Structure formats: structure tokens, C-alpha cells
Amino acid sequence: MKKWFFFVLALSLLLTSCNAPTTVEGDSPAASSNAYITDMGSDTIVNLALAWAEAYQQVQPDLRISVTGGGSGVGITALINKTADIANASRQITSAEMDAAKKAGLNPQEIVIARDAIAVIVNPNNPVDQLTLEQLSGIYRGEINNWEEVGGDDRPIVRLSRETNSGTHVYFLESVVRLGNSKDTAIFSRDTLLLPSSEGIISEVRDNLNAIGYDGLGYVTSEVKKVAISSLDTPDNYVLPSAATVIDNTYVISRSLYMYTPNVPTGGVKTYIDWILSPPAQQIVQNLGFVPITSP
């Protein structure tokens, strides 16, 4: 009986090892029934990435895709540490991150997967409907502190932002707070409230008459009001964020959204990214309120 028990145990272990996933160092998992892709990063992209992963299961049911958020910085760090096959980012990889990746023996590849507008939002009962880019910068730098200064009621301004590991935070800092001036070292006003999620900003603006926040267009709901923004070049032309105004470049606070792979994508990762750039996947981009990069 003991011999029979050990024979069955050895056979079980052998079969388990034969069915284990195969992963090549620095590459994507092998395309097999147990292939597995780890996709991490931007909270702006996470709902889109989840929708893609779910839809792709219908196309390639043998491929497993794990999607988590945490912020663009988290995803890129995981890529550098070789614990993610794909990093989602709502900003471009920094030179320091690229250097760290190369030191780790990687050659990160950038793929633009969609476009997005960053909507400036206020409470629906706030009478302010429009701001110049300079006014918006002044608010977040702490130079404008009362809504009355920009045509609103005599109320204190409550500033909301994403946390510093968010790519949206970084983009807003560089493009709005610093007005695109790479030599400017201004930072968010010290009393800016940093929130961990896009949903958190929506919730706070909905409930706080004094609040102002910003979010990816795909997260904005009817519970808050979008503010029209004018650019530095055309300060009298106020534009609301929408897919149309991103496409025609009239809305000034818009950006590309990215996926990064540790090296030139191959195997299951390449096939998946090729599908993401295809019309069916870009239709999902449009359905979720983002801007497709190709016609769906």
C-alpha cells in the first residue's frame, strides 16, 4: 500500500509540473493554455484595461490577463522589477525610470493605446462655468483662494488632486500648474487634498460646494459639472472637454495614454496589444468615454 501511495504521489507531481506556465525572462509568457499576462498601473486606464481583458477572453479564452491599478508609477516600477508584462501609464516614462529599466537589462517599448481629456470639475451648484488656463494654474498654485476671484460666490476654494504616484497628477502638474514651462518648479498648493482614486475626486466634488478637482473624461459623471477651459493662446475661447475637442485639439488639457512593455513585445503580449489597437478594442475606448486612436 505504501508503494502504491508513493507511486500515485509521484505521478501527481509529474503531471502538475508538466502543466505549469512557462515564462521566458524579459519576455511575455508563452502562448499556451496556461499563458498569463500581468497588466498593472494607471488608475485612469484600469477600467478600460479591465474591459479589454474581459473582451479578449472571448477572442483568446486560453490566455489569462490580470489587471490591477495603483498608479502609473506603480506600473512602471513593476515593469522595471520584472513583475509586470505590461505597465499602463497616463504619462510618459521618465528619463530616470528609463535609466533604471536599462540598468535592469530592459528596453521599454511605448505604445499609445488611446487619448484622453482631463476634465476640470466643480459642484453643480457652483456658478463658475469657465476658467482660463492661467486662472486654473493660479488656483492650484495657491495664488487664487476664493471663488469670488474668478466670478463665483464668496467661498473658499477647496483644491483636490490625485496622489503623487498618479500619472494624471504628474501631467496636471506639468501642463497646468507649471503651464508647460519645463523650467518652472512650482508645486501644488500645500493645502491641496490628495485623493487615491478618480472616483474619490468625483465623490468629494459632488458633496462639497467649494471643491474643484480634475479627472480623466471617462470617469466624469452627471453628478459634477465640467468647466470650460481656455488656452494661453486663445484666452477668450472657452472649450469643454469631449472626444470631439480632443480630436480637433481645441481642448487644451488632453493627452495620450500608454502601455509599456519591458522589451519589444512578442508572443501573447504582442498578440494582445495588436488586438488593443484594432477596431473592436478601440470601440471599447469610445464606449468608455476615452478617445480612440484609430477609427473603431
Report pLDDT for 292: 95
In contact, 118 and 215? CB cutoff 8 Å = yes
CA distance 171 to 76: 16
Compute the distance between CA of residue 157 and CA of residue 147 in angstroms, rounded to an integer: 6
C-alpha count within 13 angstroms, C-beta hemisphere, residue 98: 7
Residue that the C-alpha cell 505597465 belongs to? 87
Same domain as 170, residue 157: yes
**Under a CB-based contact definition with an 8 Å cutoff, are residues 278 and 114 in contact?**
no
Give the count of domains, the chain. Answer: 2
Same domain, residue pair 245 and 262 = no
| Residue 110 within a domain | yes
Q: Provide the CA 267 distance to its chain's centre, in angstroms.
A: 24
Identify whether residues 197 and 128 lie together within a single domain. yes
Give the domain CATH number at 197. 3.40.190.10
Mean pLDDT, residues 110-139 taken together: 98
Span 220-272, pLDDT tens digits: 999 999 999 999 999 999 999 999 999 999 999 999 999 999 999 999 999 99
Other CB atoms within a 10 A radius of the CB of residue 226 amount to 17
Structure confidence by residue, pLDDT tens digits, 24-62: 333 433 333 348 999 999 999 999 999 999 999 999 998
The answer on pLDDT for 14 being more than 60 is no
Does residue 52 contact residue 39 with C-beta atoms inside 8 Å? no
pLDDT, average across residues 2-12: 40
CA distances from residue 243 to 4, 124, 131, 250, 254 in whole angstroms, order as listed: 67, 21, 20, 11, 10
- Domain with 283 in it: 33-115+256-287
Nearest in space to 97 (alpha carbons), one of 72, 64, 129: 72
- CA–CA separation, 56 vs 293, rounded Å? 19
Tell which residue, 152, 137, 222, 147, has the closest CA to residue 186. 137
Name residue, grid cell 514651462: 181
Closest-CA residue to 266 (of 128, 142, 94, 86): 86
Residue 8: pLDDT above 60?
A: no
Q: What is the pLDDT of residue 16?
A: 38
Q: What is the pLDDT of residue 296?
A: 74
Q: 217: pLDDT confidence band, cut at 50, 70 and 90?
A: very high
Residue 111 has pLDDT above 60, yes or no: yes
Residues 276 and 195 occupy one common structural domain: no
Q: What pTM does this model have?
A: 0.80
